Amino acid sequence: MSTPGRGLHGQVLDTLGPDITAGKYPPGSVLRTDELAQRFEVSRSVMREAVRVLESMHLVESRRRVGVTVLPECEWNVYDPQVIRWRLAGADRPRQLRSLTVLRSAVEPVAAGLAARHATSEQCAELTECALGMVANSRGHKLEGYLFHDVAFHRVILTASGNEMFARLGDVVAEVLAGRTHHDVMFEDPDPAAVTLHVQVAEAVRERDAERAERLTREITVGALQELDILAP
């Protein structure tokens, strides 16, 4: 998964990337590097670097004598954290949130069951610490503190599953959780039932109860989908 660099080409990406993911440039649109460099008032080399990052995300394809062609959504690297962030910042946010949450619903319960079988004692302790951190930040509008522990909790679940494919989804889950918080797609204080479920998942993993860990995690993801029905219909 690519991460845009800092500096001038990063500034270009912060505008051009969201424009592409929002559909301002429809698939098949041809962008000229020289014209883009003039628009953003940057050198051609800076513009080429920005285009290379967009190519790595499969948002565009660059060909000599043709230009930079915008690719259809089906070609995009939709798991790239930056692509997710751009899409969550646009009008497509409800659909993107739902797609990502359905993905979580398919993966995380299974990962939790595997974590109950494979987690190390250190991972069990970390999971408990994260859950308690969520409890401590679940009241008083401490959403950033809650988000920090929530992201860490789900990263541990995915990693402790022992499945390297699941572990690589940590950034994806982090982006959807951050997107919900930063775009006001969650309640001012987290649902107490959801907070309790996280504590119970940590207990189930620690007690090596795979069936319970999977069931409780499924309840978490179902609850997240229900919240979307209310807050991002």
Q: How many independent structural domains does the chain possess?
A: 2
In this predicted model, what pLDDT tens digit does every residue of 121-166 receive, in sequence order? 999 999 999 999 999 999 988 999 999 999 999 999 999 999 999 9
Domain coverage including residue 161: 92-231
Name the β-bridge partners of 62. 68
Confidence of residue 2 (pLDDT cuts 50, 70, 90): very low
**Residue 191, phi-psi category: left (phi > 0), alpha (psi -120 to 50), beta (remainder):** beta
Where among 50, 75, 100 does a domain terminate? 75
> What's the pLDDT tens digit per position in 158-174?
999 999 999 999 999 99
Type of residue found at 25: Y
Mark whether 226 and 145 lie in a shared domain: yes
Residue 232: is its pLDDT beyond 90?
Answer: no
Residue 157 maps to a domain: yes
Cβ neighbour number for residue 172 with a 10 Å cutoff: 20
- Answer yes or no: do 105 and 205 share one domain: yes
98 and 67 in one domain?
A: no
